[in-house]
Chains A and B, each alone.
Chain A
Amino acid sequence: MNNSQGSVYKTDEELIENLRQESSLKRKGEEQLFTSYTYFIREGMHKHALSEDEAFDAYSDTILSAIEKIRNGSFEGRSSLKTWLYQIFHNKCVDLLRKKTTNKHSVHQTTAINDWLLQLSDNGKTIIQKLIDKTDWGFLKQKLNEIGDTCKRLLTLSAEGYSDKEIGELMEYKTADVVKTTRLRCLEKLRQLYKRP
């Protein structure tokens, strides 16, 4: 497939395979996916009367959501990549329009629904979601930047889905167990920083 901005890949399967790699192909795949359908942004502007920045946001969110779904296997390939992406993009645009018309004065929420909650039972989910809603995101992100480079790198790689073994290889730890112990210490350090008034 030859897309609008010059990135070239042969098939949807090849692109999806790149996105599932843990190597330089991953980033390349992400950029290829992004550049392949940037004309959606124009469609968002014309069909949904969004500004260019709004349509860009909807499109970027579409790509980030698609990357996540492709990695965790949610994309089953029952429709073409383009059709599937367009559906996500269309929904994002409609959501954005709805927010614009009904919640003009609400605070813009940067944090999406917490994917980590999906594992919990419905009851547990409700309890934890209520507690998460109380999170001071700005303060938490500020504290994340105070735990040190190594800790932040460890937690970031873990949140990205790297296993302790893979993190060990990347960061030159002797064993996955050492990674896990260090990672949990970092989490505890963040917990203490976040607790402080």
Chain B
Amino acid sequence: MSDLAYIDKYFKKELTQAEITEFEKKINEDPLFAEEVAFYCSTMQAINDQLAEEKKKQFRKIYDEGKLRSGSKPAAIRRLWIYVAAAAAVAGLIIGWYMFARPASIQDLADQYIEQIEIGVKMSGNEDNLGAAIRLYNKDSLPEALRQFEMIIQSDSIAETAKKMAGIVSLRLRDYDKAIDYFTQLENLKLNYNPGKLYHAIALIKRNSSGDKKTVKQLLQQVVEQDLEEKETAQKWLKSL
């Protein structure tokens, strides 16, 4: 058994008590073996650091989006506390209206739609890779899934499912610019069923940058006027803009 295999067994807790004692003795007595153990631990730590960095980036996006939505900064909130008591009664009434009478915002509609997107797999020459990528997506290994979809796109210029999925994964990872890029590629493909324009609009709604609302409206109008897929959804959303 190689040193790395032996070390792996130790950290995966696959050694007996006697073997564990032997393992620890070897660390004390064999400097080269100790270096191998240190390399194993450093590697695992380096990978976990990278994962943590990815998650922190994700958290940052969520946090920034939350601030954008609330439209206020923490410093401003500090000064608001004295008004809170007076506003409480009014807020009750507003919340009541908000809960029961408020029409859904375009952001809410887009969020609901994203939750309901079904993952249809159209098998092609890349079915093994595509299946593996979708499996990663379903297991929520999103960065891994995205890498796999992107590899498929590189090897197949059409790859409609991979483009659609790469866009959806990018949406879920809140990388809206990338999602817009993939959905634009998708909408330009000639397919029997192509929801690319609507998905493009969703990515713009989520990005919510200056000028995006205008483009969303244009895209939704095109879906309706050209009688494209998801026409009814587009009609409904246009009313919320």
Contacts and interface: CB of A to CB of B under 8 A. Distances in A.
Q: Give 10 nearest A-B pairs by CB, closest first.
A: A131-B38, A159-B47, A116-B41, A135-B42, A24-B140, A5-B66, A124-B27, A42-B74, A27-B140, A60-B56
21 contacts: A5-B66, A5-B69, A60-B60, A64-B55, A111-B45, A114-B41, A114-B42, A115-B45, A116-B40, A128-B38, A141-B46, A144-B43, A153-B144, A155-B47, A156-B47, A157-B141, A160-B51, A170-B135, A184-B2, A187-B4, A187-B40
A156 B45 CA distance: 10
Nearest to B26: A124
A24 B168 CA distance: 14
Contacts of B96: none
B11 A119 contact: yes
Given A41-B74, A46-B78, A155-B43, A26 B140 contact: yes
A101 interface: no
Contacts of A35: 62, 66
Given A170-B136, A184-B4, 9 more contacts: A34-B59, A110-B49, A124-B28, A128-B37, A135-B42, A137-B42, A170-B139, A172-B132, A180-B8
A24 B169 CA distance: 12
A34 B142 contact: no
Nearest to A63: B59
B43 A190 contact: yes
A188 B47 contact: no
A75 B44 CA distance: 23
Interface of A: 4-5, 22-27, 30-31, 34-35, 38, 41-42, 45-46, 52, 56-57, 60, 63-64, 110-112, 114-117, 119-121, 123-124, 127-128, 131-132, 134-135, 137, 140-141, 144, 149, 153, 155-157, 159-160, 169-172, 180, 183-184, 187-188, 190-191, 194
Contact of B45 (A22, A116, A184): A116
B74 A140 contact: no
Contacts of B8: 180, 183-184, 187
Contact of B141 (A56, A112, A134, A170): A170
Which secondary structure characterizes the binding site on chain A?
A: helix
Contacts of B5: 184
B138 interface: yes
Nearest to A45: B74
Which secondary structure characterizes the binding site on chain B?
A: helix
A119 B55 contact: no
Contacts of A112: 45
B34 interface: yes
B38 A124 contact: no
Contacts of A121: 24
A159 B28 contact: no
B106 to A, nearest CB: 16
Nearest to B47: A159
B27 A120 contact: yes
A64 B43 contact: no
Which of A57, A169, A184 has its CB near the most chain B CB atoms (within 10 A)?
A184
Interface in B16-63: 24, 27-28, 34-52, 55-56, 58-60, 62-63
A112 B46 CA distance: 10
Nearest to B78: A46
A170 B132 CA distance: 7
